[in-house]
Amino acid sequence: MTTSKAKAAKAALSPFRLIDARIKALGDWRGETLARVRRLIKEACPDVVETWKWRGVPVWENAGIICTGETYKAVVKLTFANGALLEDPSGLFNSSLEGNIRRAIDIREGDKIDEAALKNLVRAAVDHNQHKLRKKAPAGAQAKAGKSKKT
């Protein structure tokens, strides 16, 4: 395969396109819901990175995993990688509540999504990831990161 063909094949399988294809293939309320939460995640974190992991799960990342977007027959599940460590004043988390790290939001057909609360939760996840990353960074890198934020 030539380099240009390989690049074209890779672009065709980009996470963005794979997520688009999943939304289209669902063709029902689950696809609409996944598209809507995807839009809200991007609004909350414009520099979010979309990835495709575990043989077909949309994942949104920024300095680590924010959340996944799994689709099942009865729910669209947003699993927040560090959800147990996040404040959830609106009580969006309604699934996987027994774990020490993850928390999830199960969205069923007809459920109303509290858009502001979901965006706040996404921002909190990003803040948590960035804080965790800064703690792991060497002291010199932390100083540089702090300077770049102020300018």
Residue 64 sits in a domain whose CATH number is: 3.90.1150.200
In the numeric block, the tokens 């100083």 are attached to 143
Please report which helix (H) or strand (E) contains residue 142, including its range.
helix 139-150
Global pTM?
0.82
pLDDT tens for each residue of the chain, 151 residues long: 566 665 555 556 899 999 999 999 999 999 999 999 999 999 999 999 999 998 899 999 999 999 999 999 999 999 999 999 999 999 999 999 998 999 999 999 999 999 999 999 999 999 999 998 888 777 655 555 444 444 3
Distance of CA 82 to the CA centre of its chain: 11
User: Looking at residue 111, what DSSP letter applies?
Assistant: P
**Main-chain dihedrals φ then ψ at residue 29, nearest 5 degrees:** -60, -30
Domain with 142, as residue range(s), is 3-150
At residue 66, what is the residue type? I
The domain total for the chain is 1
